[in-house]
């Protein structure tokens, strides 16, 4: 593999303030899910009493479901802010440490990371737009690997290709943040053009990058499953205190808390590993025009990204021909 877990752990330790902020945000989200879901279940349980004893459990279920949906909607609307203020700021600090550049004296890591993100991306909408377009392009690149499996004329390959595709989609879930890190690392003045360059570099090295992503997916989700198992007992006890004492709520709460731990602690570790891999694999490379054209033909998101880059420069971006083999 093209990364070192021990170095990633060292980076996590060195960026403890940023990691602490991320943990506070994501674990706070997990607690909010549980509290609002429990509150909704309690209200539903109480209102269900008007329909008789048998209606209480149904009321608790629907109240909890409404509470869960409500908090999910609120947190979904906050995702741009989380990316801008939490994730990207941590990326900025990681980039400096990985390149052995000292952080400014007298400025905290969180403040420094936020300042770098503002300098590179100006507005939240720019960062979020690049992130969403990058995800779309990465899905197209991942589809290439699934397409190769589709071409193998062996029994059961369709199911295997579907499984491979699903696994790779999980594995590349944090690659979009590596694309953002590329812009920060190269002090890009045009984030759209930098994202385009990074995506071409990723695509022309997609074999190596997907292998790294697959290994990290196994590590990340394996550890998250262990966390889930460890949290089952306390989550079940918490669910027992809810109106109706629904045992299924214990599983849900354990899943939510495991998600919080994964997002707060495990994903930053995986991202630090992916950044190492991307920087190592693409070191000294220039974007291949053939891959630029290939992405142009594969992904509408990439074409949109190129249009944004062209508009920001005020000049059209030429597209090199790609001949299908």
Distance between CA 215 and CA 241 in Å, rounded?
Answer: 39
State pLDDT tens for residues 41-93.
888 878 877 776 667 778 878 888 899 999 999 988 887 778 777 888 999 99
Q: pLDDT higher for 324 or 202?
A: 202
Whether the per-residue pLDDT at 263 is higher than 80: the answer is: yes
| Percent share of the chain, pLDDT over 70 | 82
Whether the per-residue pLDDT at 221 is higher than 80: the answer is: yes
Q: How confident is the model at residue 148, as a pLDDT?
A: 54
Distance between CA 120 and CA 102 in Å, rounded?
Answer: 19
Per-domain residue ranges of the chain: 5-313
Our CA angle for 37, 41, 43, nearest 5°, is 120
State pLDDT tens for residues 129-141.
888 888 888 878 7
- Taking residues 168-178, what's their average pLDDT? 72
Q: How confident is the model at residue 238, as a pLDDT?
A: 72
Q: How high is the mean pLDDT of the chain?
A: 82
Whether the per-residue pLDDT at 114 is higher than 70: the answer is: yes
pLDDT grade, residue 244 (50/70/90)? low
pLDDT grade, residue 150 (50/70/90)? low
Helices (H), 1-87: 5-14, 16-48, 54-77, 79-82
């Amino acid at each position: 593999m093209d990364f070192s877990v021990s170095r990633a752990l060292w980076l996590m330790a060195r960026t403890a303030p940023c990691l602490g902020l991320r943990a506070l945000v994501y674990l706070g989200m997990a607690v909010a899910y549980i509290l609002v879901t429990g509150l909704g279940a309690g209200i539903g349980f109480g209102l269900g009493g008007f329909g008789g004893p048998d209606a209480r459990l149904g009321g608790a279920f629907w109240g909890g479901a409404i509470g869960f949906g409500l908090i999910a909607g609120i947190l979904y609307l906050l995702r741009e802010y989380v990316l801008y203020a939490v994730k990207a700021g941590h990326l900025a600090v990681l980039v400096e440490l990985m390149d052995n550049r000292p952080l400014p004296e007298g400025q905290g890591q969180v403040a420094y990371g936020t300042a770098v993100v503002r300098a590179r991306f100006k507005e939240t909408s720019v960062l979020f737009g690049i992130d969403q377009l990058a995800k779309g392009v990465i899905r197209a690149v991942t589809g290439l690997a699934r397409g190769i499996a589709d071409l193998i004329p062996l029994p059961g390959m369709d199911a295997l290709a579907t499984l491979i595709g699903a696994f790779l989609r999980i594995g590349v879930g944090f690659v979009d943040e590596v694309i953002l890190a590329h812009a920060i690392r190269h002090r890009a003045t045009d984030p759209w053009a930098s994202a385009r360059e990074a995506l071409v570099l990723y695509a022309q090295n997609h074999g190596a990058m997907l292998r790294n992503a697959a290994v990290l997916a196994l590590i990340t989700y394996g550890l998250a499953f262990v966390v889930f198992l460890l949290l089952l007992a306390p989550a079940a006890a918490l669910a027992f205190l809810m109106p109706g004492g629904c045992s299924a709520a214990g599983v849900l709460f354990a899943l939510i808390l495991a998600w919080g731990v994964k997002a707060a602690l495990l994903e930053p570790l995986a991202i630090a590993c992916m950044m190492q891999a991307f920087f190592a694999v693409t070191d000294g490379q220039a974007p291949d025009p053939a891959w630029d054209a290939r992405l142009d033909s594969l992904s509408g998101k990439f074409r949109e990204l190129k249009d944004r880059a062209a508009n920001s420069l005020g000049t059209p971006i030429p597209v090199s021909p790609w001949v299908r083999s």
